[in-house]
Amino acid sequence: MKNLDLHSYSIVFEDIQISLRTVLAELDYSSLFVLVDEHTREHCLPILMNVLPQEVNYIEIKSGEIHKNLETCQFIWSSLLDQGADRRSVLINLGGGVIGDMGGFCASTFMRGIRFLQIPTTLLSQVDASVGSKLGVDFKGVKNIIGLFQDPIGVLIDPAFLKTLAPAELRSGYAEVVKHALIHDANLWQQLLTIKEVNLQVKWDDIIFRSVQIKQEIVDQDRREKSLRKILNFGHTIGHAIESYFLESETPLLHGEAIAWGMYAELILSSQISELPIQELNSAQAYLQKIYADKKPSHWDTESLIRYMLKDKKNIDQKISFSLLNRIGSCTPDQFIEEERLRKFLMVEFA
C-alpha cells in the first residue's frame, strides 16, 4: 500500500475494497451517504456493495459538467436534509471531477460542514481533483467560480476504476498528466513521449502515483493558490474558455480535450513571452496534436473566448493571467497579457 500524507488527510493507493473497509472501520459516524451519477451507480457502485454497510443513503445526480451548478447543489442539500443527515454524517463522493467538486462543496456547506470522503473513479479526478481540496460549481457559464477550500477526510485511489471508462474519458484525464509533466517533471515528460496510444495497456499505477505526487509537491508549498500553485493552471486560461464556449454547443468538449488545446495555445504564448525553446515547443505541440487531433476545435468566436477569460478569477486589473513554461519541467505563474494582444493572438496565431 502506498500513501501520500497531506496536512490533514491521506491519499491511499490500494484496492478500493481494502481501503474503504479500513476507513469505515475507523470512522465514527451517525449516517452514511453515497453520491453517484447514473454511470457510477451502474459501473462503480457494485464494486463497493460488499463493503458498504446495509444502512446507506444514496443520492443520484445527472452526469456531466452542464449539471455542475447550484440547482444540482440544491437537490443534494435537499436529499441530505430529507434523509436525516446531521453533523456527524459522512458523504462519500463516488465519481469523477464533477461529483468530487460538487459533492465536496455541498458537504462543506451543509450544516456549516459535514465530513466527506473522495473516491475518484476517472483518470482526470484521480490525478487532478484528488489533491488540493478545491471545491466548487459553475455559475452563469463560468467554471468553478463559486467554491471554497476544504479538506476531505481522505482520498481513495484505485486504478481498477479506469476499466469502467470510455476511451474518450481516459484520454481526457491524460491531459492533466501531460500538464503535470510539462510544468514540473521533465523526466516524466520523456516517459510520456513513449506512450503512443492512451489505453488500458498503459502502466497507470506508477503514472497516477507520480502525477498525484507532483501536484502534492506544488500544493504543499502554496495551499491557497497565492503564488506557486497557479502553475497548475497552465493550459487552463484558454482551455477553460474553450470548454465553456463549447459546453452548450452541439459539439461539447470533455474537460481534458479543451485543456489539451488550451496547452497547445499557451505553449505558443510560452515561446513568445517566457522564452520556451523552439524545439521544446515543437515537441510538446506535436505530441498534443498526435493524441488530441480529432478534438481540435474547428471554430470559435474570439470575442466569446475573451469574455470568458476576462471572468477568470486569477485576473488582476482586467489583465488576463497565465502560467507559462520557461522550459519543459519549469513554469512561471502570473504572466499577464493585455486583452488586445490576446485578441490578436487568438485571431491570427491560434486561428
User: CA 338: distance to chain centroid?
Assistant: 27
Asked if 129 and 70 touch (Cβ cutoff 8 Å), the reply is no
Q: Is 171 a catalytic residue?
A: no
Q: Catalytic pick from 26, 50, 112, 299?
A: 112
- Strand 2-5 and strand 330-337: the pairing is unpaired
Catalytic residue, chosen from 115, 179, 184, 255, is 255
Q: Convert 79-119 into a string of H (helix), E (strand) and C (coil).
A: HHHHCCCCCCCEEEEEECHHHHHHHHHHHHHHHHCCEEEEE
Asked about 311 being catalytic, the answer comes back as: no
Point out the catalytic residue in the list 134, 143, 180, 230: 134
Residues ≥6 apart with Cβ < 8 Å to 183: 231, 232, 234, 323, 325, 329, 330, 331
* Number of other CB atoms surrounding residue 274 within 10 Å: 18
> Catalytic residue among 143, 169, 236, 280, which?
236
* Catalytic site residue from 169, 176, 243, 266: 176
Please tell me which residue in 68, 230, 233, 266 is annotated as part of the active site. 233
Catalytic residue among 39, 143, 169, 225: 225
**Does the active-site annotation cover 39?**
no
224 flagged as catalytic: no
Whether 43 is catalytic is: no
As a whole number of angstroms, the distance between CA 63 and CA 77 comes to 17
65 is an active site residue? no
* Chain Cα centroid distance, residue 215: 11
Q: Is 295 a catalytic residue?
A: no
Check if 290 is active-site: no
| Catalytic-labelled residue, pool 65, 229, 243, 280 | 229
**Residue 341 annotated as catalytic:** no
- Is 88 an annotated catalytic residue? no
Q: Which of 143, 179, 180, 215 is catalytic?
A: 215
| Catalytic residue list | 112, 134, 176, 215, 225, 229, 233, 236, 240, 255
